């Protein structure tokens, strides 16, 4: 009886360990992780991209709806093809990158979670922070869990990958980025496209 | 000449109707995750501001050229 109980306890403990959520680090040594942004104003279209992505996400393949985490983009990593436009964008008149070095999204709650195989789609509500202004928004995301694929991406490493894709829109007036001004050249709606992969080494 | 040269250079560089670019994005794809990333490469692509500057420069040179016009040589009248 004692032996059976011990085995049962060990199996339960192993189950708990196996089902434990994993932490994925989104600092990408390959430099592929990026957040694109697009503003389409009547007189001018602005297309840019940020590569300074970091942050961690806790993901449990057995319970994707319990995912939590925070993704951070370094404001100074925002790039535009025109250097003067970029200088203006990062200046104190627009994003004020010196005082607001980070743009972040912290996930709080997952809703409408649907999992098919390794892919989960959900509507994530979280706090989006730009230029020091935080606002709760809901973003549709797609998570893809790639078990044991870290070694394929980074040789000599073993572990899992979590790919996150999200497309959403914010309004610059919601984040005090020159609200109501220059709307003919700098669109009010900012389309954001997040394409990132995180690693959980074993 | 300056204006024509600038127009030819602008057209040869892709006739970019936006602002001048000093870097261009190149897409890279990660084979494992399928993610598309962007790498920025330094490249000068003249835009409409470049054409405008060339136009202003050409007009300025044309204006200055009037200040240094050759005066007609005065030939002594034949007897």
Report residue A94's pLDDT band, with 50, 70 and 90 as the boundaries. Answer: very high
CA-based nearest distance A15→chain B, Å: 28
pLDDT of res. B5: 85
**Which positions in chain B touch A32 (Cβ < 8 Å)?**
28, 30, 33, 35-37
Contacts for A26 with CB less than 8 Å, ≥ 6 apart? A33, A53, A54, A55, A56, A57, A71, A196, A197, A198
Q: Which of B18, B28, B45 sits opposite A32 (nearest CB)?
A: B28
ipTM over 0.85: no
Backbone angles phi, psi at B48, to 5 degrees: -70, -30
Mean pLDDT of the region A186-196: 97
- Interchain pair B25, A197: CB under 8 A: no
Q: What is the mean pLDDT of residues A60-77?
A: 96
Residue A106 tokens read as: 């912290």
Query: In a 10 Å sphere around its CB, with 0-12 CB exposed, 13-18 middle and 19+ buried, how is residue A50 labelled?
Result: buried
Neighbours of A40 (CB within 10 A): 12
Give the per-residue pLDDT at B76: 64
Domain that residue A125 falls in: 21-201
The answer on pLDDT for B56 being more than 70 is: yes
Angle in degrees, CA A69, A78, B30, rounded to 5:
65
The fraction of chain A above a pLDDT of 90, given in percent, is 86
Residue A163: closest CA among A53, A20, A24: A24
From chain A, the residues in CB contact with B23 under 8 A are 79, 81, 83
Higher pLDDT, A135 or B6: A135
Q: Determine, for residues A81 and B39 on separate chains, whether the beta-carbon distance falls below 8 Å.
A: no
**Residue A36: which CATH number?**
2.40.128.110
Section A34-47 average pLDDT? 94
- B19, B20, B33: residue with CB nearest A197: B33
What's the number of domains chain A is made of? 1
**Packing angle between helix B2-12 and helix B48-67, nearest 10 degrees?**
170
Banded pLDDT at A16 (limits 50, 70, 90): very low
Contacting B residues, span 9-68, partner chain A, CB-CB under 8 Å: 18-25, 28, 30, 32-40, 45, 47
If you average pLDDT over residues B6-24, what whole number do you get?
Answer: 85
Tally of CB atoms within 10 A around B57: 13
pLDDT in the model for residue B47: 87
Q: Which of B19, B27, B32 has the most A C-beta neighbours within 10 Å, making it the best mutation to test the interface with A?
A: B32
Helix (H, G, I), strand (E, B) or coil at B50: helix
Residue A14: is its pLDDT beyond 90?
A: no
Substitution target in A43, A49, A82 with the highest count of B β-carbons within 10 Å is: A82
pLDDT in tens, A103-148: 999 999 999 999 999 999 999 999 999 999 999 999 999 999 999 9
Burial profile A113-148: b = 16 or more Cβ within 10 angstroms, e = fewer: bebeeeebebebebebbbbeeeeebebebebbbbee
Work out the angle at residue A83's Cα, subtended by the Cα atoms of residues A78 and A86, and round it to the nearest 5 degrees.
Answer: 35
A164: in domain: yes
The verdict on a CB contact (< 8 Å) between B38 and A161 is no
What pLDDT is attached to residue A122? 97
């Amino acid at each position: 009886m004692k032996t059976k109980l011990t085995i049962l306890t060990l199996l339960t403990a192993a189950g708990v360990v196996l089902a434990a959520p994993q932490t994925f680090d989104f600092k990408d040594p390959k430099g592929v992780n990026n957040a694109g942004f697009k503003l389409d104003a009547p007189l001018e279209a602005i297309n840019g991209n940020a590569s300074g992505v970091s942050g961690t996400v806790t993901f449990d393949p057995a319970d994707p709806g319990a995912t939590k985490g925070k993704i951070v983009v370094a404001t100074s990593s925002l790039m535009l093809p025109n250097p003067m436009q970029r200088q203006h964008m990062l200046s104190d008149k627009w994003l004020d990158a010196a005082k607001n070095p980070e743009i972040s999204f912290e996930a709080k709650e997952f809703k409408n979670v649907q999992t098919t195989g390794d892919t989960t789609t959900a509507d994530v509500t979280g706090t989006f922070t730009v230029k020091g202004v935080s606002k709760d928004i809901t973003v549709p995301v797609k998570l893809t869990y790639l078990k044991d694929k870290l070694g394929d991406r980074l040789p000599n490493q073993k572990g899992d990958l979590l790919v996150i894709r999200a497309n959403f829109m914010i309004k610059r007036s919601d984040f005090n980025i020159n609200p109501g001004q220059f709307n003919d050249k700098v669109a009010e709606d900012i389309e954001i496209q997040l394409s990132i992969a995180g690693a959980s080494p074993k | 000449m300056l204006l024509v040269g600038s127009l030819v250079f602008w057209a040869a560089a892709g006739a970019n109707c936006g602002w001048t670019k000093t870097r261009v994005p190149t897409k890279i794809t990660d084979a494992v995750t399928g993610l598309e990333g962007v790498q920025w490469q330094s490249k000068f692509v003249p835009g409409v501001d470049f054409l405008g500057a060339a136009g202003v420069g050409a007009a300025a040179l044309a204006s200055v050229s009037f200040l240094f016009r050759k005066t007609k040589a005065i030939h002594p009248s034949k007897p």
